[in-house]
Amino acid sequence: MYKRLSAILFPVTAVLLIGALVWGYQENQEKNSILIKAENQYQRAFHDLSYHVDKLHMELGNTLAVNSASTGAQRKGLVNVWRITSEAQNEINQLPLTLLPFNKTEEFLSRIAKFSYQTAIRDLTKQPLNNNEMKNLKELYKSSAQIAQDLQGVQNKVIANRLRWMDVETALASEKEPRDNTIIDGFKTVDKKVGEYPELDWGPSISSMYNKRSVKKLGGKPITVEEIKRKTADFTGAQNAGAIQVVENGKGTEWASYTANLTNGKGGETWSLDFTRNGGHLISYVYHRQIGPKAVDVGTAKERASEFLQNKGYPGLTAVSYDEFDNEGNFTFVSKQGDVLIYPEKITIRVALDNGQVTGLQASDYVYERESHEKVSKPKLTLQQARKFLNPEYKEKYHRLALIENEQSEKVLTYEFGGSINGSQYKIYINAENGNEEIVEVIRNRKNNGATPS
């Protein structure tokens, strides 16, 4: 019996063993194939990065070499600088550097890209490069030479010692210290040197993009946890402030804020509110509950949203856009000064379309921008003059004055024209001082999307 059983099991076991070995071999081959592919991608991105930083240095030199009156050559050089820098940024993003402090170099390249782009798109015949901008270009030329040299040094070591980027990824993923890796050490050296470069005056438009919002910039004294609980109870109508849980975020940093949470044990509903630490300004409100079938139209939802804002201390706001998703309507409201809509001061509000109840509010833009509120000047162009800058085929549906923030992070007064051309809906913002097209915004064909002029 045992012989007969062995005669049956032995070949079956042998087949299974051979199958397991074949499967393991194939799995190992596939794993090695994936690792080789990833390694090749990392190597290509790294060598391309080194090449483009060197090319950046050369292009900055070419831009500086031309005559100051050769605005066409300067613009071409700056466009090339922007293009090359953007490619270098993309290559950095392809490398496994998420756990490696390389942020100074990334920010440095980002500033070069924005500086070159914003300088290139302006009319250099009317607004040529000034002395400060030329000084910046010279400093960037010197700095890029140093970065290129350091990256080439790392590149030479990678080639000479046949170093692998997969080892870098493994070293970064490991929590063991110290991290002894030639590539990691090389990139740390580059980033440290970049951090020691002299600070450049990029001008207000570039610098404003990097001015991080901070609660320290807000007015008012630091608020206590008990005050946050009272504010939460007042806003939500909660009877028991003691049931509100408050968590402090970013304690001891400039980003300090509070999050208040409240739960209804019976219905499973929850409320979450975020407040700034300075002044206790509400920056977001979320009411989590099950949303039923749609039973409220857009007009009613808009009325409920306006009433909510009025009752919660946000008077005089105007709805400017609306879209709908998953039985909830999303409105954007902005401040208004006279006849001018103040777009930077916006609040986004979400309304449940089963009963018109407000289920969310985002007010961070409103809170921070109100601190820098300025009186809007009158437009230099008349409405008829501004219309002349539109495409003759553009079919205007409405117009209004609007203060917006343009690509240069400058607040400019514009005429907002809503309309259509070539079968698509657009908003076009014409500068009310010089007629420039500041922003052209396509309106996506979402459900009920579009402006809601009042």
Q: Is 70 exceeded by the pLDDT of residue 252?
A: no
Q: Is 50 exceeded by the pLDDT of residue 450?
A: no
> What stretch of H or E contains 15?
helix 2-65
Confidence of residue 201 (pLDDT cuts 50, 70, 90): low
Residue in 141, 189, 169 with CA at minimum distance from that of residue 45: 169
Q: For residue 182, what pLDDT is reported?
A: 66
- What pLDDT digit, counting tens, does each position of 55-106 carry? 888 888 888 888 777 888 888 888 888 888 888 888 887 777 655 556 677 7
Q: Is 70 exceeded by the pLDDT of residue 308?
A: yes
Residue 323: beta bridge partners? 330
352, with CB counted inside 10 A (0-12, 13-18, 19+), is buried
Q: Is 90 exceeded by the pLDDT of residue 399?
A: yes
Cα distances (angstroms) measured from residue 399 to each of 88, 268, 385, 452 = 42, 45, 13, 11
> What stretch of H or E contains 257?
strand 257-264
- What pLDDT digit, counting tens, does each position of 25-63 carry? 555 555 656 667 777 787 888 888 888 888 888 888 888
Backbone dihedral angles phi then psi of residue 7, each to the nearest 5 degrees: -60, -30
Q: For residue 285, what pLDDT is reported?
A: 94
Q: For residue 249, what pLDDT is reported?
A: 82
Q: For residue 403, what pLDDT is reported?
A: 93
- What pLDDT digit, counting tens, does each position of 344-389 carry? 999 999 999 999 999 999 998 888 887 555 678 899 999 999 999 9
Rounded to an integer, the average pLDDT of 323-344 is 91
Pick from 14-18, 257-261, 429-433: least confident: 14-18
Rounded to an integer, the average pLDDT of 141-160 is 82
Beta carbons within 10 angstroms of residue 328's beta carbon: 17
Radius of gyration of the chain (CA): 30
Confidence of residue 449 (pLDDT cuts 50, 70, 90): very low
Q: Is 80 exceeded by the pLDDT of residue 202?
A: no
Average pLDDT, the chain: 80
Instruction: Please name the residues in contact with 70: beta carbons below 8 A apart, sequence gap of 6 or more.
Output: none
Rounded to an integer, the average pLDDT of 280-289 is 91
Q: For residue 155, what pLDDT is reported?
A: 79
Q: For residue 17, what pLDDT is reported?
A: 63
133, with CB counted inside 10 A (0-12, 13-18, 19+), is middle
Do the Cβ atoms of 235 and 314 come closer than 8 Å? no
Alpha helices (H) in 66-102, listed in sequence order? 71-93
Confidence of residue 282 (pLDDT cuts 50, 70, 90): very high
- What pLDDT digit, counting tens, does each position of 417-432 carry? 999 999 889 999 999 9
Rounded to an integer, the average pLDDT of 174-190 is 61
- Bigger pLDDT: 195 vs 201: 195
Rounded to an integer, the average pLDDT of 249-265 is 77
Beta carbons within 10 angstroms of residue 347's beta carbon: 21
Which letter does DSSP use for residue 243 in this model?
G
Confidence of residue 210 (pLDDT cuts 50, 70, 90): very low
Alpha helices (H) in 200-280, listed in sequence order? 204-209, 225-236
Q: Is 50 exceeded by the pLDDT of residue 404?
A: yes
- Bigger pLDDT: 193 vs 325: 325
pTM summary value: 0.66
Q: For residue 362, what pLDDT is reported?
A: 94
Q: For residue 451, what pLDDT is reported?
A: 46
- What pLDDT digit, counting tens, does each position of 122-136 carry? 788 888 888 888 888
In whole angstroms, what is the distance from residue 377 CA to residue 232 CA?
A: 38
Rounded to an integer, the average pLDDT of 156-169 is 73
Q: Is 50 exceeded by the pLDDT of residue 188?
A: yes
Q: For residue 267, what pLDDT is reported?
A: 66
In whole angstroms, what is the distance from residue 181 CA to residue 452 CA?
A: 58
